[in-house]
Structure 1
Amino acid sequence: MTPEGKRLLNIVILGFAFMFMFTAFQTCGNIEQTVLISFNSTDFHGTGYTSMAIIYGVFAASNLIAPSVVAVIGAQLSMFCSGLLYSAYIAMFIYPFTWSFYTASVLVGVGAAVLWTAQGNVLATNSSERTIGRNSGIFWALLQFSLFFGNLYIYCAWRGHDVITDKDRKTVFISLTVISLVGCFLFFLIRKPDSEPSSSAGEVTESLLQAESNDSSASYSSPESGVGSQARDAFVKSCKMFVTKEMLLLSLCIAYTGLELTFYSGVYGTSIGAMTRFGQDAKSLIGLSGICIGAGEILGGGVFGMLNKCSRFGRNPVVLLGLVTHYIAFYLIFLNIAKDAPVATQAGTDLQAFITPNVGVALLCSFLLGLGDSCFNTQLLSIIGFMFKDNSAPAFAVFKFIQSITAAVAFFYSNYFLLHWQLLILVVSGFLGTITFFGAEWIAESRRSDSDYDSI
């Protein structure tokens, strides 16, 4: 197999590993608020929103040290150990206690930071400037198949159930734990990419491999302080990168993806399940909504990731399409879903919004949320992989730091804010994030033009 073929195979394996892990975890996040509302135990006091706020808050803080962990133990082992923490969090729902619930939330937040930093490193190391858009799209599409499979299971298992019983909960979470563990072990199939002679197709990967080689040699040159120095350097790089002009421009767009991540992965599904006007199948519609989100994510990852190869269009049109798609979804949700649905009790809500609640409209909005999210994320992965190709791990750590801290804030206020206030926040932040992304893309295009000129 050619070096390019091995790199592509690594990306595919990475995508399948994440697909299995997040089939479990994203399904867990989508249903946990509903499950915990139905959980009959006087000894348990916790909410899914609070748990996710803790996860993303710890995730954000841990992103500052995640590059150090990846630098010391390597990307492959980092992803495996982090995956085990995800599996432990999911297993906790088989029979939850308040202390284990929030302890697992903290641990999975640490694991998430290391996992995504290592993922960004593997993606960049196995990509060149020519293939970074394609590889981002392939990875994103495979990852989002997780929304399809897990939520299809939820739809079939919970159809016709008004209340989630203990048996329903245990069956679902035992299955999800096993699926997550399968994803963990797939990381061991990823192999270090072979270097190849310098060429226009391999210059980026070659420079990344050379940088890793330099880091490794530095760690061996001083046995007493090599590992500590390597970890410290990774931390310093992350801090310096955070305040660069390019990252500051991208930060508002990244922050928006954190806010809308909270909305589509936790708030919207819970809101649909709380709508008693959707009938007896309202709880199972949470799974169907997740499937529609996944369909939008897969379509966007497959199509918009590939559009990066058409440099004449650039990334701006895809991001603008994502904003318009989300605005349409937000407007329809505002008309279709009751304002108190995100914070409703176990009994749900009987309130009506501005139109008679329609299941078809609700599922269309789910699809649009997924499609718009893929527009933003594929382009952010692509532009960060291009602009920070020589320091990929710190760059992706900063990306996840910003995204996760805003997601933590959003999950916290989701305990209290009615639906229309949450939608207003998304509308304003989406507009600002899109404008600043345009500025970052202009800088990226200038760099590409200068590079093309120098190569003549």
Structure 2
Amino acid sequence: MGVLDVFRRVRYYSPMTQIVLVGLVCFLCPGMFNALNGMGGGGQMDRTTGNNANTALYCTFIVFGILGGSIVNLFGVRWTIFCSGLTYALYSGSYIYLNHTANGAFTIAAGAILGVGAGILWAAQGMIMVSYPREEEKGKYIAIFWIIFNLGGVIGGILPFAINFHSEKDSLSDGVYIAFVVLECLGALMGLALAPPAKVVRNDGSSVVLVKYTSVGKETVGILKLFVDPMMLALLPMCFTSNFFYSYQFGPVNASIFTLRTRGFNNIFYWGAQMVGAYALSYLLDNQRMTRRTRGLVAFAIVAVFFNVIWGGTLKQQLKYTHGPLPNGEPTDYPGGLIDFLQHSRAAGPIILYMLYGIGDALYQNFAYWLIGSLTNDSQKLSRYAGFYKGIQSLGATVAWQLDAKSVSYLHQLIGNWVLLVISLVPMLYVVWTLKDHSEDPEDASKADSADEYVEKQGEAVYV
């Protein structure tokens, strides 16, 4: 074997390289989408179209999130991620049309198409993130992905903040949306750089994937089994809740009490705080001096306490106002009007609270992925588990975005978020309590031949 071959096998085909690559894809695609979404209403003063587009997005996401794992299993990671990435660019570009026509139909349709792509992309991402590393490294790999991914949100927050720094407009300019489209197209292209999972080899020489060629029938049965899997049923409330709070944080908070440029400023810290939260939690989740159950219980306690504290602080803030700027020109009823980041005495508390939202999101999402990754080491199952997680997550998001679109009171939206969090904690605790120190599947040792032989026989579609 030549030096180049050794380099390719050790570096390019290592799990870490693949995690970094998929992190960069998500940095440029979902990361930019998060930055745009975090502006509230896709950066438009009137959030109606953005909310309806998100509802359409998450409706299709529900279906293709659940089906996504099987679609990726059948067709491979490269082309599924490439095609999925392009749907993000289509969605961002649709806002340029909205700026010039005030017709939201195209944006809503683009949202529905994005839901298809996002469901497939996140199923592939979830499988890569939780199945490639060894058991004792899963927390670190999840954190590394989360840091790279959320760096996209940080950069995406800088763009509108810088471009609109001196602008008095109520909506983002075409230039901001064009920048998002270019970056998202680049992210889609990066998906083609991913290696087939059956070629990925860990540092200890073990192959990530040792499974036989899958089929439509096998994947159909696998999907149906998700709905009778006791652990998946127990985690349903967690999945449903895990993105529910976005609509409230981005709309009734960020878009309702802050100026346009401050929304972008806030997103820099929101997504940056996610990186800090993910990095800190990874040390606990991979701490081998504690049993897996103990690590899970401590992480669970941190998530539960942190989220209840920030919702308590949010309640105190929410009682000060009932609405943001309205399409008829009526300003927000937040005391003193919209907050600008240069108004230090007014801005400090609300901006810090918004930053804490980012930490809370990272803690919840990273713990959720770690919990799912602790249930099995079977890559095929994990792709379906990840798809199930994103699908049910999208069901929750669909409901949440419609609550804001239908002008449900901000206080009631907050209460709904808080109640759902409390409900999700009980079955999460049950799953944590059942964790074992190792989740190796008995059949792993008997899975045929080698990954390289399967790649030679079936190409990338062997798995993923």
TM-score of the pair, normalised by structure 1:
0.83
Q: Which runs of 5+ in 1 are unaligned?
A: 40-45, 217-229, 274-281, 452-456
Match of 2:267 among 290, 297, 300: 290
Moved over 6 A (4+): 353-357
CA contact under 8 A between 1:15 and 1:142: conserved in structure 2?
yes
The one-letter code sitting in structure 1 at the alignment partner of 2:55 is A
2:332 is the alignment partner of 1:347 = no
User: Compared with structure 1, are the counterparts of its residues 12 and 447 closer, same or farther at alpha carbon in structure 2 (3 Å cutoff)?
Assistant: closer
User: 1:51 and 1:70 mapped to 2: Cα distance?
Assistant: 25
User: Compared with structure 1, are the counterparts of its residues 297 and 348 closer, same or farther at alpha carbon in structure 2 (3 Å cutoff)?
Assistant: farther
Deviation digits for residues 70-115 of structure 1 (CA, Å, limit 9, x no counterpart): 1222112111100011111111111223331121111101111111
Deviation digits for residues 321-362 of structure 1 (CA, Å, limit 9, x no counterpart): 233323332233333344423584363544246999731111
User: 2:132 and 2:432 mapped to 1: Cα distance?
Assistant: 23
* 1:262 to partner: Cα distance: 2.8
User: Compared with structure 1, are the counterparts of its residues 336 and 34 closer, same or farther at alpha carbon in structure 2 (3 Å cutoff)?
Assistant: farther
CA contact under 8 A between 2:304 and 2:425: conserved in structure 1?
yes
Which position in structure 1 is the counterpart of 2:70? Answer: 68
Indicate the larger mover: 20-29 or 283-292. Answer: 20-29
Which position in structure 2 is the counterpart of 1:29? Answer: 37
User: 2:310 and 2:330 mapped to 1: Cα distance?
Assistant: 22
Which position in structure 2 is the counterpart of 1:164? Answer: 170
User: 2:250 and 2:160 mapped to 1: Cα distance?
Assistant: 14
Q: Which runs of 5+ in 2 are unaligned?
A: 1-6, 340-345, 443-464
Which position in structure 1 is the counterpart of 2:230? Answer: 245
How many pairs does the alignment contain? 415
Which position in structure 2 is the counterpart of 1:405? Answer: 395
Which position in structure 1 is the counterpart of 2:246? Answer: 261
CA contact under 8 A between 1:335 and 1:354: conserved in structure 2?
no
Match of 1:323 among 281, 304, 307: 304
CA contact under 8 A between 1:332 and 1:361: conserved in structure 2?
no
User: 1:99 and 1:409 mapped to 2: Cα distance?
Assistant: 20
User: 2:201 and 2:440 mapped to 1: Cα distance?
Assistant: 25
* 1:24 to partner: Cα distance: 2.2
The one-letter code sitting in structure 2 at the alignment partner of 1:378 is N
The one-letter code sitting in structure 2 at the alignment partner of 1:323 is A
2:135 is the alignment partner of 1:129 = yes
User: Compared with structure 1, are the counterparts of its residues 150 and 351 closer, same or farther at alpha carbon in structure 2 (3 Å cutoff)?
Assistant: same
Match of 2:185 among 181, 187, 190: 181
CA contact under 8 A between 1:254 and 1:403: conserved in structure 2?
yes
Q: Where does 1:29-428 land on structure 2 (aligned, <5 Å)?
A: 29-31=37-39, 33=41, 35-37=43-45, 47-96=49-98, 97-164=103-170, 168-192=172-196, 194=199, 206=207, 209-211=209-211, 214-215=212-213, 230-273=215-258, 282-311=259-288, 312=290, 313-337=294-318, 338-341=320-323, 344-345=326-327, 347=329, 349-352=331-334, 358-390=346-378, 391-415=381-405, 416-428=407-419
User: Compared with structure 1, are the counterparts of its residues 351 and 16 closer, same or farther at alpha carbon in structure 2 (3 Å cutoff)?
Assistant: same
Indicate the larger mover: 410-419 or 27-36. Answer: 27-36
Identity of aligned residues (%): 18
CA contact under 8 A between 2:27 and 2:148: conserved in structure 1?
yes
Deviation digits for residues 359-379 of structure 1 (CA, Å, limit 9, x no counterpart): 111111111111011111111
* 1:132 to partner: Cα distance: 1.7
User: Compared with structure 1, are the counterparts of its residues 172 and 315 closer, same or farther at alpha carbon in structure 2 (3 Å cutoff)?
Assistant: same
User: 1:401 and 1:315 mapped to 2: Cα distance?
Assistant: 24
* 1:9 to partner: Cα distance: 0.9
TM-score of the pair, normalised by structure 2:
0.82
Deviation digits for residues 208-233 of structure 1 (CA, Å, limit 9, x no counterpart): 5112xx025xxxxxxxxxxxxx1232
User: 2:441 and 2:113 mapped to 1: Cα distance?
Assistant: 44
User: 1:142 and 1:242 mapped to 2: Cα distance?
Assistant: 32
2:13 is the alignment partner of 1:9 = no
CA contact under 8 A between 1:340 and 1:419: conserved in structure 2?
yes
* 1:62 to partner: Cα distance: 1.9
Secondary structure of the corresponding residue to residue 130 of structure 1:
helix
The one-letter code sitting in structure 1 at the alignment partner of 2:309 is I
The one-letter code sitting in structure 1 at the alignment partner of 2:323 is A
* 1:394 to partner: Cα distance: 0.9
User: 1:346 and 1:298 mapped to 2: Cα distance?
Assistant: 38
User: Compared with structure 1, are the counterparts of its residues 388 and 265 closer, same or farther at alpha carbon in structure 2 (3 Å cutoff)?
Assistant: farther
CA contact under 8 A between 2:122 and 2:390: conserved in structure 1?
yes
User: Compared with structure 1, are the counterparts of its residues 394 and 335 closer, same or farther at alpha carbon in structure 2 (3 Å cutoff)?
Assistant: same
CA contact under 8 A between 1:151 and 1:290: conserved in structure 2?
yes
